[in-house]
């Protein structure tokens, strides 16, 4: 069964943070908000995702992130809006799907220059 675009947007954001912080650094991942960015409703290819999680075992509070997801381009732009890294510049990542003979399809990331 095919994934809905909403689920795909959430999974892209979550896999990005897992790639950056590791599985243990993604404690209590919580979806705060999910809405289409370009008015196409459930068929939208662009999504606004607001999520939070504890980055480390010693984190006192969760960090809240705003992520803009473009499913056509596999781009995820993220910015911390509350927590330890609040005020960082927005960073843009391209998620790259890779196939290897020893595992299922996996995703890798490459950071792109931020334009805003």
Query: pLDDT tens-digit profile of 32-83?
Result: 999 998 877 888 999 999 999 888 788 888 889 999 999 999 999 999 999 8
Statement: residue 107 has pLDDT above 80: no
* Contact between residue 44 and residue 38 where contact means Cβ atoms under 8 Å apart: yes
* Alpha carbon distance 63, 46 (integer Å): 23
Confidence (pTM)? 0.79
The strand pairing partners of 40, in sequence order, are: none
Q: Is a pLDDT exceeding 70 seen at residue 94?
A: yes
pLDDT over 90 at 85, yes or no: no
C-alpha–C-alpha distance, residues 109 and 15, integer Å? 9
């Amino acid at each position: 069964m095919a994934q809905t675009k909403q689920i795909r947007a959430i999974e892209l954001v979550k896999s990005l943070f897992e790639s950056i912080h590791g599985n243990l650094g993604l404690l209590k991942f919580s979806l705060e908000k999910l809405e289409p960015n370009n008015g196409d409703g459930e068929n939208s290819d662009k999504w606004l995702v607001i999520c939070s999680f504890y980055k480390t075992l010693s984190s006192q509070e969760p960090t809240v992130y705003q992520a803009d997801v473009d499913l056509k381009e596999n781009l995820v732009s993220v910015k911390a809006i509350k927590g330890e890294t609040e005020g960082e510049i927005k960073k843009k990542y391209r998620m790259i799907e890779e196939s290897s003979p020893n595992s299922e399809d996996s995703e890798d990331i490459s950071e792109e220059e931020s334009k805003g």
